[in-house]
Structure 1
Amino acid sequence: MFKPNKVVIHELQKSPDHAGITWFLSDKLAGVKPSDYISLEKMIRGFDREGVFHGYFGEPEINPFAASFKSYFTSQKEDEQFVAFTKEVVPQLNHLLDKKHFARGGYYVFCEYEFENNKGLGIFLVRDTEGTLFKVDDKSHSFQLDKIKYMETDKMAMGCQIDYIKYRSEGQKCLAFTHNRQKEVSDYFVEWIGCQNRKSGKESTEDLYKLIDAIRDELPINPNTNEKVTAEKLKEDIFNLVESEQTKTLDLQTIGKHLFNDNMFFLNKARAHKIEIDSSFKLHKSTFAKYNLFDVKDDDLGIKLKFPKHRFGDRRTIKIKNEGADRKLIIESPSLIDQILRRLEQMGNE
């Protein structure tokens, strides 16, 4: 169950066409009613929908935000201390925004919360937008249309979560950021928070392998084939999909949509199993292949074989007979036989 404990909102007033920054900094916590919880929870859950990447705080000695957060985290965490912390870190954005002519105004929402047996701090950049309100005019006994401004809480411009349990355990990646298509916005937000040491492709690839093994008994029917998916087949499909698209980047939302018609499949499973994984990363192919693929060759014979691990062993497609001098590699594949026979026939006619 989601529960916001403290919420503070500050407004940045800046036009992308003009230099200069003006802040409206709140002096007190925002008044949050139970009916507002759903909007705040949407922002927290929006991390999964938008996709995430993880990282560490920079050293407090050289990172102003990290130093301010450490001071607050080790305090009594009273309401006044929370407000003071947010008012201290927001102006740290000035030197970043001043040189960014593209930067726009918006609301910086700080929400300290409890969610799924954990505590954390969410920091969100939210824009406002214009809408239309139907308003009853009692005199004319009719509806009038009024323009209103409201915050699009389900469409964050950028967001960061700080996991309190991981922060307390030094050495863990306690920061999670939403992916943002506007790279400039992502860059200054990440620089402000002070994210260091994002996960390498090798680490993320190992996380993916760990996730697939964790959910091997929960894999559904593939809607494209109507067959039960195995962990080994899933690894093969992922590798082949990346190979066929000739891309170094693996996007779990795209693959979830392609394989299971559910773009949130992998991210929801990762959250359920408490496996921290970036939603998009460069697949470390040699790491993935090390766990999943055989890639062997005989230079003397001029034969090269590359096949997934699950094809090997007793009662499988590829078998080994290793009894003294009787050593054989047996491949049972009618498709390969047909291909070789066709090729032999073509060569005989050439």
Structure 2
Amino acid sequence: MPSPDRPPLALTAGDPAGIGPEVALAAWLRRKAGVPCFYLLGDAALLANRAKRLGLDVPVTEVAPVDAGRSFAQALPVAPLAARFADRPGEPDVANVPGILESIDRAVADTLDGRASAVVTCPIAKKVLYDGGFRFPGHTEYLAELARARTGVSARPVMLLAGPDLRTVPVTIHIALAEVPAQLRQQDIFETCKIVAGELRRRFGIQRPRLAVAGLNPHAGEDGSMGLEDERIVRPAVEALQGEGIDARGPLPADTLFHARARKTYDAAICMYHDQALIPAKTLAFDDAVNVTLGLPFIRTSPDHGTAFDIAGKGVARPDSLIAALRLAGNMAARTVR
């Protein structure tokens, strides 16, 4: 049931040709199993048709966000978009781009204006957006720009992968592995860790966050014998964090950072590149890992999977990651220190 003193979550439509609609329908069916109240910014007719196609007993009702809490127990609340969607699962269509972006725009506006307590995003496909004139690298950068446009404050978004047993953060993200050493900077490590520590306090209720900072090279460089980046870049960043009272350790060898005993010693592992963070996160929680964007003036979570066009409309997509994203967003909203 929705909290009487907290607005519902705003769930974006994502790409309607993907699995977003069906995992949203499945998440609503789990509403009695601890899924917090949410409304979907999307196309009610498409959702009703998708439910019928998949044999899901999901009534759909169009509502204003303020009324979502009263409708949630009986029907999936949908805040209708001005744009319409082509209802062809598995067939991405550039004509859907205006509705995809409208859904994101309105979810952010609803959250910043207090009509929603957090943004949860269904997956999008970058290629479709690029073909439609989208000029941002991805979801996260677009959300940061929306936040800047609304608040006047530039955000530094940070990706956190959260599962039941592990939180990881990559400092460098979608760049080639060969480019990581040249792009890894002490200031980026320092600022990323400061944001993570602050958000773990504010959004996760961890009073003194413990950060384990992985080294870049094998054995964290072995005192410079396996690369100098850890001594010249990572260690000074950790020392600067410690100088500001942040409980950070490192550089630590990544190959001994993720076993069960090690995970008990920290609240988040700060990793130097994409796969160093995502491989352990997805290995431990492939079906229910959540992508969290820290550093924004609102809460944003998303399932840690893509549009899966190849299985869209077939009724085999698992809703676990979206359900985990909804639950985590609800928990973060409840814990947030204003």
State the TM-score, normalizing by the size of structure 1: 0.25
Question: Higher strand proportion, which one?
Answer: 1
Question: Higher helix proportion, which one?
Answer: 2
Of the two, which has the highest radius of gyration?
A: 1
State the TM-score, normalizing by the size of structure 2: 0.25
Q: Which is bigger in relative contact order (C-alpha 8 A, separation at least 6)? A: 2
